[in-house]
Amino acid sequence: MEATQHPPTMSTWEPVVLQTDSEQDEQASTDVKKQMGLEALPEQLHADFQATASHLDEVQMNHKLVLVAAGMIPESHLAEIEPERQLAWMVEQLHGTMNPDGLSIPLMGAKASDIEISTLNDEVQRKLKIIVKEQGHDNLQRVVPLPSEAREIQAHFINGRLHLRW
């Protein structure tokens, strides 16, 4: 009886609606293109610079080597000091691309009905869970923290690619 008077306060995973309308994806890509030049946000310019700065790859590799030599697992150390990097690793692992306002992941051969996306708001940060189901195999499941600027998640599955925008 007491449980009905005081509902549980734990966070739960909230599903994200997966849309398959290509017009909305085209609109999102043109919105990003409009923000170039003097109208671009500093965060967007910084993300564009990091995407094209190949000299930083060597620095990151050397940092990993130092961490391994010190007996630390590089990913866990970097995830503690910069949790949003987990999202970039997941996207890279799945051969996707990061955008200033979202990401895109190729899921060729999957159907929209095979993909589940949900978010979780906890005390520390907001998380994203992606599950891709395949018959006869284990599900591919990834849980990663979302950037602090991510508010409402929009998901589109078009031409074998999953597009998430925030």
For the stretch 66-94, pLDDT in tens is 766 666 666 666 666 776 777 887 888 88
Q: Is residue 33 domain-resident?
A: yes
Q: Mean pLDDT throughout 59-70?
A: 74
- Per the structure, the complete domain to which residue 123 belongs is given by 8-165
Number of domains in the chain: 1
* pLDDT for the residue numbered 150: 83
Q: Mean pLDDT throughout 107-132?
A: 90
Q: Is residue 60 domain-resident?
A: yes
Token pair 């095979």 in the structure block, residue: 114
Q: Is residue 1 domain-resident?
A: no
Q: Is residue 111 domain-resident?
A: yes
* Banded pLDDT at 27 (limits 50, 70, 90): low
Q: What percent of the chain has pLDDT over 70?
A: 73
* pLDDT for the residue numbered 124: 78
Q: Is residue 3 domain-resident?
A: no
Output the CA torsion 17→18→20→25 (10° steps). Answer: 90
Q: Helices 85-93 and 74-81 meet at what angle, rounded to 10?
A: 140
Mean pLDDT of the chain: 79
Output the CA torsion 41→103→31→110 (10° steps). Answer: 180
- Cα 28 from Cα 22, distance rounded (Å): 10
pTM of the prediction? 0.58
Q: Mean pLDDT throughout 109-122?
A: 92
149 against 132, higher pLDDT = 132
Q: What percent of the chain has pLDDT over 90?
A: 23
Highest mean pLDDT among 8-22, 29-43, 103-117: 103-117
* Banded pLDDT at 1 (limits 50, 70, 90): very low
Q: Mean pLDDT throughout 94-104?
A: 90
Q: Is residue 129 domain-resident?
A: yes
Q: Is residue 157 domain-resident?
A: yes
